[in-house]
Structure 1
């Protein structure tokens, strides 16, 4: 790497945290490990990072709350949750807090690395692509800043929210093919990723509802479409 990717890891289980630190350092990342949410937040605000890996069961500030604080400060930094708990309610809470992925322990380190690389490639492609601005009803999507604005009010998007919305506005008639989106953004079309994408679609639908002329509808057997009513 010409410029090392800076990763902040907040993991209450020190042994697990050190294993991830050693693995990512061997891959060329610059890594900092904190063991509670308060120290994690102080670390995040002390210097810039490119990626966050957060445990859920952190002390003082839990992982969900920490992600929300990070999202308020930086709307685009990738955030992955790492947890031994895989209940649907907790996974949904992670995505609703601004997480880009939720990885259940135990997991293969190489799979974590591959997922991180996929998100970083998309982020790099976004910054290297010529700036484009799309109109969507009263919304303006700025692909360089990765923000969506409505009448001057800005909504920062997570990496995957941005990737999904960009697929919509880049496609003919703003139709999103479900299988294509799953493979392009999550790497594989399977039940787990389908449920995850449904969470992101619901979040986008909620954001877009701020403009009453916009509908995000489901197309049976195909995917989704954004419709702008005149």
Structure 2
């Protein structure tokens, strides 16, 4: 048991730095993906055919592409286009672009739960599409959207470990560093698991609370 705790205490700075980067990746990518995903969701239900096509094409392309390939494209291909991204910036961008495709579908599904008569009545009053969406539809769709949105963000938190394969020192990179120090990998992985459970637990609690509070009547 002493050895188990010493793995953490003797390497506290490495664990701290790794999970700090994980939290930063999550927070920045969560905000970015929420904004981009909501915009794409609006495209999916837009009356403009070109916007609907763009939204559908984005979702079908990105959602069916492995996240590792999105990282590889940003790390290895984009610099050849004279766009300079350091490794953390590439990680933020990859997670945002990838997760936005899933958030887009959550937003679109949430919008579809609102009775069509709501939007029709708003349009009859002379409201524009952005006004209908922002003032009438999205506020009502929020109850249906929030629980699955939290699930998507939880998945993204776990997906941050992919960044370890692209020279980003986050939680997923800790085992490689610890192996060089000769630390027992079993204990290292246990501590990483505990760390992710601590990060995910508040999100799961939030999701369950909102599911109970904002349950949509069927």
Taking structure 1 as the reference length, the TM-score comes to 0.21
- Give the helix-richer structure, 1 or 2: 2
Considering only CA atoms, is the larger Rg found in Structure 1 or Structure 2?
A: 2
Taking structure 2 as the reference length, the TM-score comes to 0.22
